Chains A and B, each alone.
Chain A
């Protein structure tokens, strides 16, 4: 959807157009859910994050101003903050050793879809888990959230060039590890 149509959709939603609201939800909810699941590896938690993200969109849509990276950056910043909140609350609930594991490791909580997926997916899933958090965030926002570089920069509070570098390094690492047959 081009920017002009997206702006119209958002304006209509803000004015109470139910059809536009449904369209906006259908357009972004799957991406937000995928992003949350890729970060949390927990269907239920991802569901909660997606749900709360749209509740906040509903609450704050009046205040949203289309600046810089636009709606998608705003939406995923909300989702990203909610993911961070969720991880923190989980860490508080867990014993100290497990808490750091929760934030850094994904292999232990590989979701069902990944275990029944193809070999490449399983391999990538394992490799992603060992990437540094900011590199992983860039890839998740890029490929699960479908954001562009400037939007990722707006979500992460980084300049587009920095995002490009992070993405480049992340892909390089993945490529090297796959080439070397790194441990998964």
Chain B
């Protein structure tokens, strides 16, 4: 009985018609084919290319890394295998950069009177000189002293330039003020001169120079003589 029941159950499920499934089969097979492992060289190609790009970018970025910067150890490593620049070259390059920057600042001041631009450029020069000074640690002996002097000279030049910028800015401001004062005088004279000259100009001019003397002189004189006359006339009449 049990065997027959199990057989009947199996037959029952076997009677279930199969699903079409062709499309699913094709998708499954295609999916499996897509997972087929690539040849080793092809699998390695993409990671290797990516690695190369990253290393190249890091190498370029590290060429002028200063001590203390993240890429500095990489630069040291590259330097040890002769890929990175020599320390002297790196310092010289930094000094040249600062020099060019300072020249540009001088041009901005002398040719364009661009005080703000020249000031900004000079400040950048000072920062570049700071970087160059940090790189000096990698040098020693005469090479180091020479570069240190060069940096110091440029540093002083930069500070002098900042002073010049301040002075010229102040001069320019003074000139501008004077020009504006002149402009003020010219513009007020002709505009109100006819009225002031006629009505109050002489009066007030007299009060500044001789008017006060005249008026006070004539005033006191007239009052003096007046009082004398009146008193004389008064006393005469009494007589």
A interface, CB within 8 angstroms of B: 13-18, 20-22, 25-26, 29-30, 33-34, 37-38, 43, 46-47, 50-51, 54-55, 57-58, 61-62, 113, 117, 120-121, 124-125, 139-140, 143-144, 171, 174-175, 178
Contacts and interface: CB of A to CB of B under 8 A. Distances in A.
A113 B15 CA distance: 7
Given A21-B31, A29-B21, A175-B5, 12 more contacts: A25-B24, A29-B19, A30-B19, A33-B18, A33-B21, A38-B13, A55-B28, A55-B31, A113-B16, A143-B6, A174-B5, A174-B9
Given A117-B15, A143-B12, A58 B21 contact: no
Interface stretch (B33-41, B58-66, B190-198, B203-211): B33-41
A58 B9 contact: no
Size band of the B side of the interface?
A: 20 to 34
Nearest to B16: A34
B12 A117 contact: yes
Contacts of A120: 8, 11-12
A111 to B, nearest CB: 8
Interface string B104-129: 00000000000000000000000000
Contacts of A143: 6, 9-10, 12-13
Contact of B8 (A30, A46, A54, A124): A124
Main secondary structure on B side of the interface with A: helix
A43 B6 CA distance: 24
Given A54-B24, A171-B2, A13 B16 contact: no
B51 to A, nearest CB: 24
Given A16-B33, A16-B35, A50-B24, A171 B15 contact: no
Contacts of A33: 16, 18-19, 21
B2 A175 contact: yes
A143 B14 CA distance: 8
Contact of B21 (A15, A50, A57): A50
Interface string B167-208: 000000000000000000000000000000000000000000
A18 B28 CA distance: 9
Given A16-B35, A22-B25, A121 B18 contact: no
B46 interface: no
Given A139-B9, A174-B5, A18 B29 contact: yes
A178 B9 CA distance: 13
Contacts of B16: 33-34, 37-38, 113, 144
Contacts of B236: none
Contacts of A61: 35
B1 interface: yes
B15 to A, nearest CB: 5
Contacts of A178: 5
6 contacts: A14-B35, A21-B29, A38-B16, A62-B35, A143-B12, A178-B5
B2 to A, nearest CB: 6
B32 A21 contact: yes
Contact of B12 (A55, A58, A62, A125): A125
Nearest to A50: B19
Contacts of B2: 171, 175
